Amino acid sequence: LIPRAHTNTHTHSALLCARAREVIPLNEQASEEILKVEQKYNKLRQPFFQKRSELIAKIPNFWVTTFVNHPQVSALLGEEDEEALHYLSRVEVTEFEDIKSGYRIDFYFDENPYFENKALSKEFNVNESGDPVSKSTEIKWKAGKDLTKRTGQTPNKAGKKRQHEEPESFFTWFTDHSDAGADELGEVIKDDIWPNPLQYYLVPDMEDEEGDDDDDDDEEEGLEDIDEGEEEEGEDDDEDGDGEDGEVRSSWSVDSNRPVTLKCLFSSVH
């Protein structure tokens, strides 16, 4: 005989499986609706991204600074990669009409001593079988400048903090199509950097501001100590005597808001 408790457990498990199967169509419908919303807002974002690209183009070394400041991308950059990326003038990410089919990342370069290409692209999509695949621009390296054939590049300053002691060239990414469905660098650029590159471009400035705030606090504390000392001296002077008209003299009355004023001056520099 099968224990009744075991029978009940089996029955409940079967019911749970049935309920789970019932919700599958709803989940699929939800995914389709979410994709439609993403497609709609991707189109609405394009004019803003275009204006943003025009502004970024006016900022020297914007993209190389952004990549060097990104913790994952910086681990892939050697010093020569960083030098080459100083010629990177524009980055564009394009998600295809059917988001599920993939996206493309375009890198636009000024004239540089490393390769002939004005633009390098890597595209991710799915083939007829539904498997993820990728393809990219062939880099036309100038003589002796192929960074993908140089081993043991010295890591850049940011990369020294990472696990990669001797990173491969960033540009090997354009020739690596081994796992298009899990391309970490492509996903990082598309989903993390592209929506808001400014957050990484400004990383050092933000850290400096935090340090400056600490300095301002220390400065203000020091000024408060000085002011307290001056106030005590003023009280001592008052005990010695009053003014000619009987008015009490106070050295503090000369500049009662000096700490605030100085703090504003320090803040205005940054």
What would the pLDDT profile of 178-193 be if each residue is shown by its tens digit?
Answer: 998 899 999 999 999 9
d(CA 170, CA 79): 10
Mapping DSSP to helix (H, G, I), strand (E, B) and coil, where does residue 3 land?
coil
Q: How confident is the model at residue 211 (pLDDT cuts 50, 70, 90)?
A: low
Provide the 8-state DSSP code for 77: -
Q: State the angle between helix axes of 203-240 and 258-269 in degrees (0 to 180), rounded to the nearest 10.
A: 160
- The pLDDT, as a whole number, for residue 40 is 87
Which amino acid is residue 92, in one-letter code? E
Give DSSP secondary structure letters for 184-247: HHHHHIIIIITT-THHHHTHHHHHHHHHHHHHHHHHHHHHHHHHHHHHHHHHHHHHH---TTSP
pLDDT digits (tens, 9 = 90+) for 214-256: 555 555 555 555 455 555 555 555 555 444 444 433 333 333 3
Closest CA to 125 of 104, 94, 97: 104
Among the residue ranges 6-20, 123-137, 236-250, the one predicted with the least confidence is: 236-250
Tokens of 103: 């996206």
What pTM was computed for the model?
0.66
